Amino acid sequence: MNLIAKLGLVLVIMEFYRVLLLVSNTKSFKHFGLYEHLIGMWFDIITIALFFLPFIVISLLPINAKLERFRKIILLVIFISTALIVFFFNAWDVAYFSYTEKRTSYDYLIYMLNNPETGSLAGDFILEFWWLLLFFILSFVAMIFFYIKLKQPETSIKSIKSWASLLIGIAISIVIGRGGFQLKPVGIIEATNYCTLENSPAVLNSAFTIIKTFDFVGVDEKNYFQEKEANKIFNPIQKSNPQYLLNNSTNIVFVLFESFGTMYCGPASPESYTPFLDSVLNESMYFDSGIANARTSMDAIPTVVSSIPTWMNESFILSSYSSNQFQGLPSILHEKGYESAFFHGASNGSMRFDAFASAAGFDYYFGRTEYNNDKHFDGNWGIEDHHFMSWSIDRMNEMKKPFFSMIFTLSSHHPYTIPKEYKNKVRKGPDPICATISYVDFAFEKFWKKAQKQPWFENTLFIFCADHVGPTNRSDRTSLEWTYRIPIAFYHQGGKLPKIKSGSQFQQVDILPTVLDLLNVQTNFFATGTSYFNKRKYPKIAYSNENLIAFNKRMEPLTWNENLKVRWNKEDRNTIRLMKAVYQQYSRALIENKMKP
C-alpha cells in the first residue's frame, strides 16, 4: 500500500498540472468535464507505469536486510529524478501549449532545448509564468515531504510472498503500461477514442506523448488500397497544366506571415487588424477559406515550399525523411532559369530553416547574419520586420531575373515585441498577438510601397499566406475551423488572375502545383495537394494527434482515424475514401523515398 501511496502522490500532482493547463487555456477546453478528467487520469496512470517501472521493481525486489538502507537511498534518487522529468514535461506544456495547440513530441522537445533562441526567451517565459515555476517548486517539495513520511514496503529474500509480489507488481505494471491486454499498446491516437479531438491534448499528458514519440522511426505503411487503385484515386506524381495567364518569366515574391490566422486578418475576418494587407488581398486571387496544413512554423515551410505536410507525430524538418530526395519550388524553377532566395530575419539556424532552404534548392539564404545590423534586433527572435522586409527588396534588386524570393516574417510571435516608433500606431485587441499583427501590417505596407517602385513589380506574382494560426484565449475562436483557417492569396499587377468565389477552399499544399500552372511551367512534380486549376477536387486535410481532419464547403470538420467506428453518410464516406488515398500516398512516398517524379 505504501508503494501505491507514493505513486499516488505523482498521480495527484499530474492531475494538478492538467488543471493548470485547463485554467491557462480555458477557451480551448470549454467542454472538459469529470469524464475527461477520469480518462486523463487513466493516461496518467499508464505514464506512471512506464516511467516508474524501475522504481516499482527495486521497491518490490526481495533483498538482504543489510542492504535495505542502500535501497532507500537508491529509491529516493530514482523517485525524485523520475518525478522531476515527468513534472518538467507537463509544466513545459502548461506554458507552451497555447503557442502550438498540441502536446510536445520528443523531437520538438529536443529541438527546443538545443535551440539558442530558447535561452534568449527563457527570461520572458519565467516572468510570464513565474506562478508555474513557484508551483513546480512547491509541489515538488510537498511530494518529497510526503514521500519521506511513507515507509518502504518490507521484503525478504527468503519470502515466497515477496517474490510473488515482485512478479505480480511487474506484470501489473506492464499491463497498465500497455494500456490493457489489446494487441498494440495504447498510443496517442487512443485519446480520441474516449473524447473529442479538441479535448484530447488535455486528456493526454506531455510525458506520455514524449515517451510515445521517443523511438519514432517513421510513419506506418498504409494499405487501404492496392497501388493501382490508390494511383487512380490520387497520384502525388502530377503533371502541370499551364494556364498562360502570366508571362513565362514572371518573378515570384512569396510572403509568409507568422501566425496570421483568419481570426485576425484578411477581408473574411470578422475582426481584422491588417487593413493594408486586406486592401491588397481584395485585389488578389484571394481564398477566404484557406486551410493551414501546418500547426507550427517548422512544419509550414516544407508544406508551402515543397507540398510536404507533417501528417505524423514528428516534424518533417526534424525527421529522418528530411534526407529523402525531394523537390521544392526553387529547385523546380531553377531548371527554368530562376534564381532564388529565402529571407528570414531570425538568427541563422533558427528552426533549421537555412538547412531546409538549401535542401529545397534555394540559391541564397538571408538571415540576421547577412542583415548585419543588430541595432534593429528585437532582443528575442531577430530583426524587426519593418527593417528586414524593406532591406529584402534591396537584395531582390540584386538578383538575376526571373527570380523567386520568399520572405518569412517573425514579429507576430511571442513575446510580441513592438518597436518603439510603432507602439502608438498599432491597434490592440483581445489577444496580445493582435497588436503585433497590426505592427506587421505597417511593416508590410512599407514593404509593398517600396516594391511598387521597383522595375520588376509589374512582372511579379506575389503569394500571401500564413504559416499557421496564432494562439488565442477567446472562446469564440477555438473551433477547428478557426484553428486551421488562414488567408491565402495570389496577386499580379496585370489583373489577369481569376477572382475566387467566396467559400472556395484552398490549402497550403496546393500552392506549389498552382504556382507551376500560373508560371506556365511544363513539368512533372510531386505534391500532396492539387492546383486550383485541377478539375478534380480533393479534401483539404489537417492533422492532429494521428487524426485526419477534412473541411466541407461550410468549413465543418470531419475527423477520422483508423479506430473510429462510426456509421458515415454517403458524402462523408467519399471524403474519407479520398483522404485515405492521399494519406496512403503521402506515407508511402516518405517510406519509399519517392518524393520526386
pLDDT digits (tens, 9 = 90+) for 254-299: 999 999 999 999 999 999 999 999 999 999 999 999 999 998 999 9
> Lowest-pLDDT range, 157-166, 267-276, 281-290, 382-391?
157-166
Instruction: Report percent pLDDT > 70 for the chain.
Output: 95
Q: Is the pLDDT reported for residue 213 higher than 90?
A: no
- pLDDT value, residue 219: 82
d(CA 183, CA 191): 17
Which stretches within 101-129 are classed as H helix? 106-114, 116-128
For residues 399-413, average pLDDT: 97
Q: Is the pLDDT reported for residue 190 higher than 90?
A: no
pLDDT class of 68 with cuts at 50, 70, 90:
confident
Q: Is the pLDDT reported for residue 67 higher than 80?
A: no
Most confident option among 123-137, 467-481, 509-523: 509-523
Instruction: Report percent pLDDT > 90 for the chain.
Output: 67
Phi, psi of 542 (to 5 degrees): -115, 165
pLDDT class of 173 with cuts at 50, 70, 90:
very high
For residues 551-564, average pLDDT: 86
pLDDT class of 186 with cuts at 50, 70, 90:
confident
For residues 316-323, average pLDDT: 80
Phi, psi of 88 (to 5 degrees): -60, -45
Q: Is the pLDDT reported for residue 142 higher than 80?
A: yes
- pLDDT value, residue 115: 64
pLDDT class of 195 with cuts at 50, 70, 90:
confident
pLDDT class of 214 with cuts at 50, 70, 90:
confident
Domains and CATH numbers, the chain: 2-213 (no CATH), 238-538 (3.40.720.10)
- pLDDT value, residue 371: 97
Peptide bond connecting 402 to the previous residue in cis, omega within 30 degrees of 0? yes
Q: Is 106 helix (H, G, I), strand (E, B) or coil?
A: helix
pLDDT class of 111 with cuts at 50, 70, 90:
low
Arithmetic mean of pLDDT over the chain = 91
Q: At CB < 8 A and 24+ separation, what contacts does 371-379 make?
A: 371/345, 378/411, 378/417, 378/419, 379/120, 379/417
* Cα angle: 136, vertex 126, 32; to 5 degrees: 60
Chain segment 11-32, per-residue pLDDT in tens: 999 999 999 999 988 878 888 9
- pLDDT value, residue 324: 81
546: left (phi over 0), alpha (psi -120 to 50) or beta: left
Which among 302, 290, 218 has a CA at the least distance from the CA of 261? 290
For residues 540-559, average pLDDT: 89
Peptide bond connecting 498 to the previous residue in cis, omega within 30 degrees of 0? no
Q: Which three cell numbers stand for residue 275?
A: 487593413
Chain segment 537-546, per-residue pLDDT in tens: 999 999 988 8
For residues 548-567, average pLDDT: 87
Which among 393, 397, 400, 391 has a CA at the least distance from the CA of 372? 391
Q: Is the pLDDT reported for residue 118 higher than 70?
A: no
pLDDT class of 94 with cuts at 50, 70, 90:
confident
Amino acid identity at 4? I
DSSP 298-313: HHHHHHHHHS----SS
Could you tell me how many helices (H) and strands (E) the chain has, helices first?
Answer: 22, 13
pLDDT class of 562 with cuts at 50, 70, 90:
confident
The whole-angstrom distance between residue 191's C-alpha and the CA centroid of its chain comes to 18
pLDDT class of 200 with cuts at 50, 70, 90:
confident
User: Which of the pair, 450 or 351, is modelled with greater confidence?
Assistant: 450
